[in-house]
Structure 1
């Protein structure tokens, strides 16, 4: 075996893969029941945890043992306690709480799609009647409400790249946030640029959550809302900045390029495009598994979507009427940020 070659596939490796669904289910139950919150103040037995979680004592004991088997809890006789580090990511009051990400990634929405991946492979795209492209799909309400820990660092990166806005002769900087979801990208710009006015475009059911986020972040007075489909909703404009985040991997390169071309027409000459997407890097899938696994979800969840290589995103941007984009990344963050000027 050469040094750069992966170990041979064996039964133990396959068993680990097959048990992943159980591990995910155990983690999700622990988050949903707030088991980790119940242990935040120190060790407790199963009866005490059950009382705190309004759950059955026997069922709680089974769950606690399963969480301990996964290394998320520790045991000492009949007492259970948080494993080192679990308090910072699994206790809901902690600033670095990751339970919301668990609720998204381990949702029934994704499972209902991925369990039919074989059918999607045969079909060349989703076989789900309700999927990620369906108008008013309720998953996007959860996504808008919960966000992820990857979002804010990328929003801060974008703000640092674009601001302060260089044109000091104008009293308004107009921003369009397409398929905005939570709205954090546009609203982070608004919080750092007092002249910013943000137009948030998404399905009507999602914009209800987006508007609540605008109020919570203190920018509601400069927030505007465009309900509808990003491919045909009226865009108004022209804008100084257009943000297209987390949607290009939902489409084929042709359809994504068409969307970007539509955004170019909504921008002022010299205006900025911000495109944010998960991408592959052109290397071996085993060396960068996250985007390839996400691409499988896109196959199961959309008609023509997949995660594209970064070179394809660069080609889409230039074909849509923009300059060659600049690429920005963050360590341990799968999202890639491309910025380009409208020609």
Structure 2
């Protein structure tokens, strides 16, 4: 690699990086107050927006100008309208609304963790008394309720690759571990009436998971296992076990222990589906997302980090599964490893 491929560090670049927290806060406030809904119809003045959003007029004027400064709104005279693209990402009635992702990624939970990153680096793990591994952590309720836009296409990918391997079964029993929203299991159930889903998570999260099962019309085929995935009886044996978005919360050894526990719950010839963000062979500046997420895991868990894909493959085989097949989608950071139980 030559030096011209590496971005030069300048004062302006550092200033842009340091102001990111302000930009994120401004976006978060706009989403929280539904400012984008207020200006969606036609150019609108600050007083009208303040009335729609139920805010102080002076405060709203400052926020509108800040949103225009970030490029999310356009100001013309003293009226504001949506910037190109904001209508299908930031207006709540649009099917591609992205505001829920803003509410998750810009939540106080992540901010509180990342601002202690220096302390986490010193100690080698989270210094927060309440963090992502704490039982009944309320962030996971929000995650279950809001989900992310990365989830539905990955859930469809899982269904395409997993269901053909179950065609000889009269019933397809699926365990969804650390299920959160439950969409991986419920997407399988939506595609195949034979599927029965057991969703495992903390009790406070499962209350939201059950609501999602109702919305998706599969509640009659959903069962729930409340508790710690390392300790609660799993039942089974299952035809498919899904372990999604949780392996990066742990060290390699702890993740391997979890997968070995899942292997005991899968019938011979059944399938493991492991879904996780992974680092690649690319330099970090060319593939930044997993490395930034790994820093959050350092600040938010005791031993978590984003692992290389080769480590996930080793974890899966060490737990008693065949070498996994790896799947992914363009512009989606999640990788799907599917492996047969040997």
TM bracket (short chain): over 0.9
SS at match of 1:90: coil
CA deviation after TM superposition for structure 1 residue 7, in Å: 3.1
Match of 1:49 in 2: 49
Match of 2:196 in 1: 197
Match of 1:187 in 2: 186
Match of 1:64 in 2: 64
Match of 1:314 in 2: 313
> 1:228-256 CA distances to partner (integer Å, 9 max, x unpaired)?
00001110100000000000000000000
Match of 1:214 in 2: 213
SS at match of 1:163: helix
Match of 1:81 in 2: 81
CA deviation after TM superposition for structure 1 residue 107, in Å: 0.2
User: Aligned equivalents of 1:219 and 1:7: distance in 2?
Assistant: 49
Query: Given that residues 249 and 278 in structure 1 are in contact (C-alpha distance below 8 angstroms), is that contact kept between their aligned partners in structure 2?
Result: yes
Task: Give unpaired runs (5+ residues) of structure 2.
Answer: none
User: Aligned equivalents of 2:202 and 2:7: distance in 1?
Assistant: 46
Query: Given that residues 175 and 199 in structure 2 are in contact (C-alpha distance below 8 angstroms), is that contact kept between their aligned partners in structure 1?
Result: yes
Match of 2:30 in 1: 30
Runs of 4+ in structure 1 off by over 4 angstroms are 1-4
1:261-340 paired onto structure 2 within 5 Å: 261-340=260-339
User: Aligned equivalents of 1:307 and 1:3: distance in 2?
Assistant: 26
1:148-159 paired onto structure 2 within 5 Å: 148-159=148-159
Match of 1:97 in 2: 97
Match of 2:173 in 1: 174
SS at match of 1:194: coil
CA deviation after TM superposition for structure 1 residue 4, in Å: 4.6
CA deviation after TM superposition for structure 1 residue 103, in Å: 0.1
User: Aligned equivalents of 1:230 and 1:292: distance in 2?
Assistant: 26
User: Aligned equivalents of 1:286 and 1:205: distance in 2?
Assistant: 38
Query: Given that residues 109 and 139 in structure 2 are in contact (C-alpha distance below 8 angstroms), is that contact kept between their aligned partners in structure 1?
Result: yes
User: Aligned equivalents of 2:281 and 2:227: distance in 1?
Assistant: 35
User: Aligned equivalents of 2:250 and 2:104: distance in 1?
Assistant: 21
User: Aligned equivalents of 1:123 and 1:261: distance in 2?
Assistant: 29
Query: Given that residues 155 and 184 in structure 1 are in contact (C-alpha distance below 8 angstroms), is that contact kept between their aligned partners in structure 2?
Result: yes
> 1:97-119 CA distances to partner (integer Å, 9 max, x unpaired)?
00000000000000000000000
Query: Given that residues 125 and 301 in structure 2 are in contact (C-alpha distance below 8 angstroms), is that contact kept between their aligned partners in structure 1?
Result: yes
Query: Which deviates more, 224-233 or 7-16?
Result: 7-16
Instruction: Normalising by structure 1, report the TM-score.
Output: 0.98
CA deviation after TM superposition for structure 1 residue 166, in Å: 3.5
Instruction: Normalising by structure 2, report the TM-score.
Output: 0.99
Query: Given that residues 165 and 193 in structure 1 are in contact (C-alpha distance below 8 angstroms), is that contact kept between their aligned partners in structure 2?
Result: no
User: Aligned equivalents of 1:160 and 1:118: distance in 2?
Assistant: 43
User: Aligned equivalents of 1:32 and 1:337: distance in 2?
Assistant: 33
CA deviation after TM superposition for structure 1 residue 6, in Å: 1.7
Structure 1 pair 13–133 and aligned structure 2 pair: CA distance change class (3 A): same
Aligned length: 342
CA deviation after TM superposition for structure 1 residue 10, in Å: 1.1
Query: Given that residues 43 and 79 in structure 1 are in contact (C-alpha distance below 8 angstroms), is that contact kept between their aligned partners in structure 2?
Result: yes
SS at match of 2:89: helix
Query: Which deviates more, 213-222 or 170-179?
Result: 170-179
Structure 1 pair 4–328 and aligned structure 2 pair: CA distance change class (3 A): farther
Match of 1:240 in 2: 239
User: Aligned equivalents of 1:62 and 1:75: distance in 2?
Assistant: 12
User: Aligned equivalents of 1:113 and 1:3: distance in 2?
Assistant: 33
SS at match of 1:100: helix
CA deviation after TM superposition for structure 1 residue 164, in Å: 3.8
SS at match of 2:269: strand
Query: Given that residues 164 and 193 in structure 1 are in contact (C-alpha distance below 8 angstroms), is that contact kept between their aligned partners in structure 2?
Result: no
User: Aligned equivalents of 1:261 and 1:118: distance in 2?
Assistant: 33
User: Aligned equivalents of 2:338 and 2:162: distance in 1?
Assistant: 9
User: Aligned equivalents of 1:48 and 1:337: distance in 2?
Assistant: 47
User: Aligned equivalents of 1:165 and 1:74: distance in 2?
Assistant: 52
User: Aligned equivalents of 1:105 and 1:155: distance in 2?
Assistant: 21
User: Aligned equivalents of 2:273 and 2:97: distance in 1?
Assistant: 28
